[in-house]
Amino acid sequence: MVGDLTGALLLLLTAMVMAGAIPLVAAMCQFALIGVHGLRNHHDRVGDITPRTAILIPAWNEAQVIAATIDRLMAMNYPAEGLRVYVIDDASTDATPSVCGQKAYQYAGRVIHLRREVGGQGKAHTLNHGLRYVLADDWCEAVLIIDADVIFAADALRKMARHLADPEVGAVTAYIKEGSRPANYMNRFIGFEYITAQAAARRAQNVLGAMACLAGGAQLHSRESLEAIGGRIDTSSLAEDTLTTFMTQRAGRRAIFEGSATVWAEEPDSIGGLWKQRLRWARGNVQVSLRYRRVWFRRDRDRRLGGVSFGTFWFTIFLMPVFMISASLGLTVLYFADFPLSWQLFRLLWIINAVTYLFVTLFSLAIDPGTARRTWVEGVMFPGLVAVLIILYTCVPPVFTVGVRDVLLGAGVTVRPLFAHALILFAYVWLAGSMLVAWAAKRLEQDGRWRVLSPPLVYICGYGPLLCAITFAAYVTEVRGAEMAWEKTEKTGKVAA
């Protein structure tokens, strides 16, 4: 009886540890699909069309960035008579109204300034104000929803629009690149993240036929598709872009990612800014996950969103903190219950981690060499210095078991067994502990005296664990039922495309 219980407990702990491998295997599968995108796509159904497009820009206090955005939109390679820009001014209190007024005068009939006298309800409400206006006019054949700070490459809209020639496609998104110049460490981490999360993951989603999210800063909808979802953006979630993406696909049309359409955006340059932005995104994802609970893994309910592959990719990201905590907890308990088993599982988990890390990092750098040249250090350090050292140990143990030991012995330092075991225990708890260190880095950044230590700490704990810590914070915030405040990401107009 006791033996059965022990066996069951060991099995449970083993499963907990190996749960840590689920997101790794899922990431490898997702990246493996990217190559397929070159062979399996809908390119034979696209056409060089230029639908009359209304560009909606929700704007609240965007005086610093809105003029440059409008100028770049007006200079796009797109028929002038087929393009109108609607700035939906959400009761701005800065110079946004006067800047928009100047642009409306400069581009008479092509730039329209719509003013809301009472604002602050969030982006979805602001967009709906504009949608009511543009959909009331038969002129509009497509709607491009963008952010006030984004800079479109001259050919971006044209490359997006060609997908609407396929009647199955309802919406198209572009490749958002981090465009801040000068870029600090956080901008570069985000720059690399966007290769993996957009250029890579969204190509895989194209292959699957199910898109997780049309980027809020660049989403082109056909009029028919928008009208099919009610002609408005759902206001019940903080992730209005994800919700719109899901609704578009639930209404029977495809959402497509166009990797060669480039849009530059200014992203947060601090942990605090990132935390605020991503907490909103992650809370939105919690809401979307719950809202579509009857669709996940139910292909009979929705052949796109209900697919096993898509559901697995979605939930491995969404539940990443759970997997990390599970693996660390399992390893730590096994350390005391059955050390040899814990060591074997630790090695296995980190071998899978090492292979995934090498595959994902190398392939990401190859997908977008231009961004890779600026962000390769952050790409290498994405999981954090400690994780990279564990990966190095997993790949080439003699570096540590012989090389480092000899160096220490040469310096007259003897590695005592107690120290070695403390090191092992540290490595066991690191998957979960890295999130705690990421949270500490955020707290340090808020403290004026120790702020300087915050960036190095992110390199040590990793940007990936920082994102996991934010996701974990989103669970807590949702469970506590905190108010859904729309907190705008501050933009300063430092995008240089």
Contact residues for another protein, defined by CB under 8 A = 31-32, 34-39, 41, 43, 46-52, 77-80, 82, 141-142, 155, 158-159, 161-162, 164-165, 167, 203, 222, 259-260, 355, 358-359, 362-363, 366-367, 395-398
Rounded to a whole number of angstroms, the minimum distance from the CB of residue 127 to another protein is: 22
Least distance from C-beta 258 to another protein, angstroms?
Answer: 8
- Of the candidates 48, 16, 486, which has an alpha carbon nearest to the alpha carbon of residue 281? 486
CB of 81 to another protein, least distance (A): 8
Residue 50 or 96: which CB sits closer to another protein?
50
| Chain centre to alpha carbon of residue 400 | 35
Taking the least distance from each CB to another protein, the nearer of 155 and 490 is: 155
Residue with Cβ nearer another protein (261 or 468)? 261
Residue the block writes with tokens 């955006």: 265
Rg (CA), the chain: 24
What is 437-490 written as a DSSP string? Answer: HHHHHHHHHHSTTTGGGHHHHHHHH-HHHHHHHHHHHHHHHHHTT------PPP
What is the DSSP code string of 70-85?
HHHHHTSSS-GGGEEE
Number of residues written out for the chain: 497
CB of 106 to another protein, least distance (A): 17
- Tell me how far apart the alpha carbons of residues 19 and 330 are, in angstroms, rounded to a whole number: 10
CA nearest neighbour of 86 among 72, 63, 70: 70
Minimum distance of another protein from residue 426's CB (angstroms): 23
Q: What is the DSSP string of 157-195?
A: HHHHHGGGGSTTEEEEEEEEEE-BSS--HHHHHHHHHHI
Q: Is the peptide bond before 455 cis (omega within 30 degrees of 0)?
A: no
Contacts of 58 (CB under 8 A, 6+ apart): 88, 90, 123, 126, 127, 130, 147, 148
Nearer to another protein, 34 or 265 (CB): 34
What is the Cα–Cα distance from 332 to 361, expressed in whole angstroms? 28
* Residue whose CB is less far from another protein, 116 or 253: 253
CB 21 within 8 A of CB 352: yes
Tokens 């971006």 sit at which residue? Answer: 156
Q: Residue 39 is which amino acid?
A: L
CA distance 152 to 147: 11
Of residues 77 and 236, the one with the C-beta less far from another protein: 77
Closest CB to another protein among residues 94, 168: 168
Tokens at 122, concatenated: 């969030």
CB of 36 or CB of 389, closer to another protein: 36
* Shortest distance (Å) from residue 294 CB to another protein: 32
* Smallest gap from residue 393 Cβ to another protein (A): 11
Question: Least separation, in Å, of the C-beta of 113 and another protein?
Answer: 24
Specify the residue, 46 or 470, whose C-beta has the smaller distance to another protein.
Answer: 46
Q: Which two tokens stand for residue 427?
A: 């490595």
DSSP category for residue 115: E
- Pick the closer one to another protein by CB: 28 or 385: 28
Element (H, E) at 127: helix 123-135
By three-state DSSP, how is residue 54 classified?
strand
Rounded to a whole number of angstroms, the minimum distance from the CB of residue 53 to another protein is: 8
Please, what is the minimum distance in Å from the beta carbon of residue 141 to another protein? 6
In angstroms, the CA 28 to CA 64 distance is 41
